[in-house]
Structure 1
Amino acid sequence: MTDDARPSDQPLARARRRGAAVWHRASRPRRLALATAAVLVAAALVTTVGLVEAPRYSSAAALDGVVGDDLRHEPVPESWTLTPADVGVPADQGRCLLWQAEPAVGPDRLGGDVLVSAGGAAGDDGTGTGDAGDTDCRFDGGFGSTAQTVSRLARVDPVDGTVRWWVDLGAELDAGSGFVQVWPTDDAGDTTLVSTLGFGGDGFASSYARLDLGTGELTDVTTSPNGRARLTDATASWALVSSDPQFSYQDSRVYYDSEPGTGEFSLYAADDLDAPVWTGETTGSQDEALTPDGLLVLDGGTITAVDGRTGDTHAWGPDLPTATTLVVDGDLVVVGLDPAIPTSTGDTDGTVVALSLDGRELWRHGFRQDRGVQTTGDCVVFSTTPGVVCVDRRTGAELWTTPPRDRRHGLARVTTDPAGDRGSLVFAQTFEPGGAAAVSGDLTSDEAAERTVRLLDAASGHELARAVVPGESQIALVGRTTGYATTASSGRTSTVTAFDLSDGHRLWQLDTERDQLGFWGGALVTNHPDGSVQRLVDPVRVVG
């Protein structure tokens, strides 16, 4: 389904993993009215019957502009369908085409639309990725294939399936598909950066360019034929390009040299990709993070700052000899230390150190590095030995601690930035068995197929509900009344589990044998082996 969509290099057509929703736009008052009516009807029934208290849901606004569909019943494909032809992919190259939302530029920046990549590889027999007689797909986007690749980027309305524009990345960037990355932009920008990495017609290559969000036009195209120079980070202000000498392409294979080498990485102003502001050496063991003023480089426990305006460098922050990770979150720089540094809580966790943008240490606290960190308003949430902890973003003071229900199953993993209305909830994914194992009292079975997720109030840490999801799930999307967990099998997202946010009870679980499931903004879609995509919707409608 298209809106007279053609390749973006045609004038008439100029008019993507955390992207939009059915109920999100003020310009659709009828949908808002229907959503409100549904809630009022449900509340009225509960109140009239008088058996249970009316469910309570958050009224907080979505933090990222994504408002998830509230699919209260198992969804069905009774909405739009997109085919490979809708983005200019020939029928003989559409099989196993992988469609993925690119969430770095959210629907709040695109008038409710989402950016979607579509990639695959046409096999020698013209049937696309996978064997001709095989009904299963790897859904790998063609990465790793030496065949001619298919790579598209499109702007799509997830409500009605309209394609605003599409662009052939393989042709425009002269590079392969496999990994497509759309980088963030600011609220005022009408362009952003897009990069690709994969196999193309002439071998392995990487490329990046400036993308016009309104038309899909690509400018300032840079291509690295051997794939060594790659766009590795970008913000609305800066772009970081790295060149790794340990990386090489030979005979349709990618090689990494075992001996340490020295490469380069260059800082560019995002609006000028022709000349770097600064270029430095990299050994491949450092970590980098872009800041509002330029770049921070962590290497060997010391941090160096690069001024993006002048290219000058200087030592930054305290000496952190066992620092391993570096992340910039707004006006906070977060550094992770390994457990060799004593912690403020006296336990055996690693340490998180928070610094201001000018390098002043604000606070440090023990935390488990492999259990995730979530920022919710003025609260930084992570797991530590006493339990899930919220500390004040500015001071590091503990605002609340929620201990584990059963310490035999270790520490919970804090879900990091699920899309949608996550501002009022913290999801602590525990290793406690759920379902039949929990009911039977077999709380020592760490091999249980289902686990328990604790829904915590972000302001107090109080447990609001408990949900049961498959053991290897990720909390992918949060709607107003419904949470969604996705489960991958052999690299394919094959299961979506929906649960109620007020009490955690399971609403439905959708399993697919061959399809790839995913969310485009707040809309659930299913990607079929024939390369088509359908939106899934709730079969129950509010009438009137």
Structure 2
Amino acid sequence: MRDDDDQPWRPAAPARASAVWEGAPARSDGGPRAADVDDAGDLAPAAPDPAVSTAGPLRPPGRASSALTGVARAAAARSRRLTPTRRVAGLIGATALVAALVAVGGVAAGPEYAPVARASFEVDDLRTAPTTTAWSTDLRSVLAPGAEADCVGFDGSTRLGDDDVLVTTSAQGYVPDSGCEDAPGRLARLDARTGEVLWVADVAEAVGIDAIGLQVSVDPATGDALVAVQSIVGSGLARLDTETGEVQEVLRGPPDDGATGQVDESDGSDESDGSDVSDGSAAGGLADGSDPGYDPEGSSPSTGSSTGSVLQVEGLSTTAVVVSEQPGDRFSDEGAVVAQGGRSLYRLYRADDLSAPTWTGNAGAGLSVRLVGDLLVIDVGDEPLVVDARTGAVDPLPGGLRNVESWAASLDGVVLSGRAGGEPTMVSLDSDGALRWSARLPSTSYPSVTDSCISVTVPGGEVTCLDPRTGDELWSRTLRAPGGGDRDGDGAGGSGSGEAEQVQAYFGTATDDVLAAVVDADEQGDPSGLDRGKEVHALAALSGDERWVTELPVASYVIATSRTTGYAATFFPSGRDTPTLIAFDLSDGRTLWTIELSSGSFTSAFWGPTLVRVDPGGVVHGLTTGVELAG
């Protein structure tokens, strides 16, 4: 036993740090550090992005932080002179004081971001430019084997669950004798996190038509997909099991079981005495050649032949589909309408049953129908109607609305805008088609709809938010063009170019913030749209308070948001310029990075949560930054 074994154990004290923070190494010439000089040779602070987790040496505290440290030191010195009881009380008081200073001074406060209201719209939070390819998949070899690279395009904008997407193919640049006539109409399920193709379905072959494009919707109740297959003339429809890719049902033309009426090809020029068309229903136009309009009783078979009739998908929602049957001789081989007049039969189906329609109706060619969810709005002159796809019930469109111009889903129902009594009006219907409310609008407008706000924007910069449940105005404010005064509309604060002449609203983002843009009047004539002349404002849905503002090119739209990052894409229909993606901070609007998007055929920038790039050869790449976010 050692002599000191009976002594209390005392661990060795750790070595004292030479400094509480590591200073920057000084240059021998006394100039700034290389890390503090940007590419242009200007001094640039090396502050890390507050939303990105970083590792490295501690930095010197700022002045405010040093002041707080001084307060803490003084409190500690005083505490050592107090009794234990008073020392505990003093510690609690000092903690509260520091917390109050932080709250008031904002020393430790981080950036503020709006809550994610719609997780199904959220995409990856890419705080720095994506430089890493997480995966690559050759879609052309999988979905379009043998097709020329410039004949087929791919799009993965239909999201399925958290990570998967449905990828569609489409014919690009199709004209007769172009060599692109046989581009396939296939659908695939892709894991957007790994790039794995889970299944492929040849929908065009199942429907039996040559496809130039596909349109997809997913029924939230069953998870099945409705796929509309568009050809040069006519359409087809299929219902697929999205777990397996198996085709469940196909709708490819007039039914052969006589359950519904056939197309009446009469153009109203029948030389008979008209006794068989006294009500203008199944047999076509009236004896005087006029078009009787919509006929709700036109569900019985007509005497005309259905040979050569064409099926057209007129509207597709997640829960229903409406199709028309039209005479084939209305269309040229290139799909152009070459004959007017005559009648068409319309049929409405539930998404989970394509075997029998819930409603049919006869009408003149060119009838305007709008399908949102289970509600079909038929805009026919002075007597617009609403049809319930679940029951086939037909009722007058409530609210006195005529000339429907816009429509969108809202709170399991629909909001429509048009005119009532000659005045711009919006009506809201519940899921049964009953009127919730009706509200006058300042002018004709296309609204942006969320569960928190229906935002209406009009030329001049005015943005108004209506309560989706009552139609009451929650707030209204006028935005000014860049440099055109303050953003509250009192006219002070700058000269600029006056009020904006164009206001645009966006939807499809993960937050309920109202995103409205004002365009500088001097920039609207820029044919390229490259110059930055558009300010996008994020306004809190319930108050209208501005969260942030960012300046973007005129030819750009906000397409997605994540938890802390927003994304805008430029578009150039001429194809002469390369589209770009601009990422910006959702707390202050500052630009974070910019990259070029696919230079080939159009595709969505985000497939599910993943940013992708599709190269001209048909290989899709999933992109990432490799940077993990804090929290």
Q: TM-score range by the shorter chain?
A: 0.7 to 0.9
Q: CA deviation at 1:285?
A: 4.6
Q: How does 1:31-430 map to 2 (within 5 A)?
A: 39=52, 41=54, 54-61=110-117, 63=118, 65-76=120-131, 78-84=133-139, 87-91=142-146, 93-95=148-150, 97-103=152-158, 106-108=159-161, 111-120=162-171, 147-186=181-220, 188-199=221-232, 204-224=233-253, 228-245=310-327, 248-251=330-333, 253-257=334-338, 259-290=340-371, 295-308=376-389, 311-338=392-419, 341-342=422-423, 350-356=424-430, 357-360=432-435, 362-370=437-445, 372-384=446-458, 387-405=462-480, 406=484, 407-415=498-506, 417-419=507-509, 421-423=510-512, 425-430=513-518
Question: SS state of the match for residue 206, structure 2?
Answer: helix
Residues 1:240 and 1:115: Cα distance change in structure 2 (over 3 Å): same
Q: Would the aligned equivalents of 1:496 and 1:511 in 2 still touch at CA under 8 Å?
A: yes
- Mapped partners of 1:227, 1:472: distance in 2: 41
Q: CA deviation at 1:69?
A: 1.2
- Mapped partners of 1:247, 1:364: distance in 2: 44
Residues 1:446 and 1:92: Cα distance change in structure 2 (over 3 Å): closer
Question: SS state of the match for residue 116, structure 2?
Answer: coil
Residues 1:395 and 1:471: Cα distance change in structure 2 (over 3 Å): same
Find the counterpart in structure 2 of residue 501 from structure 1.
586
TM-score w.r.t. the length of structure 2 is: 0.65
- Mapped partners of 1:291, 1:505: distance in 2: 37
Find the counterpart in structure 2 of residue 479 from structure 1.
562
Q: Partner amino acid for 1:525?
A: V
Q: Would the aligned equivalents of 1:301 and 1:319 in 2 still touch at CA under 8 Å?
A: no
Residues 1:249 and 1:303: Cα distance change in structure 2 (over 3 Å): closer
Residues 1:180 and 1:358: Cα distance change in structure 2 (over 3 Å): closer
Residues 1:410 and 1:337: Cα distance change in structure 2 (over 3 Å): same
Q: Would the aligned equivalents of 2:386 and 2:433 in 1 still touch at CA under 8 Å?
A: no
Find the counterpart in structure 1 of residue 27 from structure 2.
none
Residues 1:90 and 1:446: Cα distance change in structure 2 (over 3 Å): closer
Q: CA deviation at 1:404?
A: 1.5
Q: Would the aligned equivalents of 1:373 and 1:380 in 2 still touch at CA under 8 Å?
A: yes
- Mapped partners of 1:169, 1:250: distance in 2: 24
Q: Partner amino acid for 2:516?
A: A
- RCO greater where, 1 or 2, for CA within 8 Å and sep 6 or more? 1
Question: SS state of the match for residue 440, structure 2?
Answer: strand
1:262-300: CA deviations, max 9, x gaps? 212101233321222221123345433446765332211
Question: SS state of the match for residue 456, structure 2?
Answer: strand
- Mapped partners of 2:378, 2:146: distance in 1: 47
RMSD across aligned positions (CA): 3.7
Residues 1:522 and 1:48: Cα distance change in structure 2 (over 3 Å): farther
- Mapped partners of 1:395, 1:326: distance in 2: 17
1:426-483: CA deviations, max 9, x gaps? 11121137xxxxxxxxx67753722111121222111121112221212111111111
1:363-417: CA deviations, max 9, x gaps? 21214445x31222232111146711111112222111121124532242111x2
Q: How does 1:4-19 map to 2 (within 5 A)?
A: none
Q: Would the aligned equivalents of 1:324 and 1:335 in 2 still touch at CA under 8 Å?
A: yes
Q: How does 1:427-446 map to 2 (within 5 A)?
A: 427-432=515-520
Structure ranking higher in strand proportion: 1
- Mapped partners of 2:475, 2:156: distance in 1: 35
Residues 1:159 and 1:322: Cα distance change in structure 2 (over 3 Å): closer
Q: Partner amino acid for 2:609?
A: G
- Mapped partners of 1:445, 1:194: distance in 2: 38
Q: Would the aligned equivalents of 1:286 and 1:298 in 2 still touch at CA under 8 Å?
A: yes
Q: CA deviation at 1:533?
A: 1.1
Q: Partner amino acid for 1:483?
A: G
Q: CA deviation at 1:85?
A: 5.4
Number of corresponding residues: 460
- Mapped partners of 1:84, 1:262: distance in 2: 42
Q: Would the aligned equivalents of 1:429 and 1:453 in 2 still touch at CA under 8 Å?
A: yes
1:110-146: CA deviations, max 9, x gaps? x5211111334xxxxxxxx6xxxxxxxx6x7999976
Residues 1:483 and 1:210: Cα distance change in structure 2 (over 3 Å): same
1:470-502: CA deviations, max 9, x gaps? 212121111111111112223667211111111
Question: SS state of the match for residue 499, structure 2?
Answer: helix
Q: Would the aligned equivalents of 1:277 and 1:309 in 2 still touch at CA under 8 Å?
A: yes
Q: CA deviation at 1:157?
A: 1.0
- Mapped partners of 1:47, 1:283: distance in 2: 77
Find the counterpart in structure 1 of residue 612 from structure 2.
525
Q: Partner amino acid for 1:162?
A: E
Find the counterpart in structure 1 of residue 543 from structure 2.
460
- Mapped partners of 2:177, 2:350: distance in 1: 30
- Mapped partners of 2:155, 2:177: distance in 1: 14
- Mapped partners of 1:151, 1:377: distance in 2: 35
**Structure 2: which 5+ residue stretches go unaligned?**
1-49, 66-106, 255-307, 485-497
Q: CA deviation at 1:90?
A: 2.3
More deviation, 377-386/457-466:
377-386
TM-score w.r.t. the length of structure 1 is: 0.74
Q: CA deviation at 1:152?
A: 1.9
More deviation, 146-155/255-264:
255-264
Q: Would the aligned equivalents of 2:150 and 2:616 in 1 still touch at CA under 8 Å?
A: yes
Question: SS state of the match for residue 297, structure 1?
Answer: strand
Residues 1:514 and 1:304: Cα distance change in structure 2 (over 3 Å): closer
Q: CA deviation at 1:156?
A: 0.8
Structure whose alpha-carbon radius of gyration is higher: 2
Q: Would the aligned equivalents of 2:379 and 2:402 in 1 still touch at CA under 8 Å?
A: no
- Mapped partners of 1:472, 1:541: distance in 2: 32
Q: Partner amino acid for 1:418?
A: G
Q: Partner amino acid for 1:530?
A: G
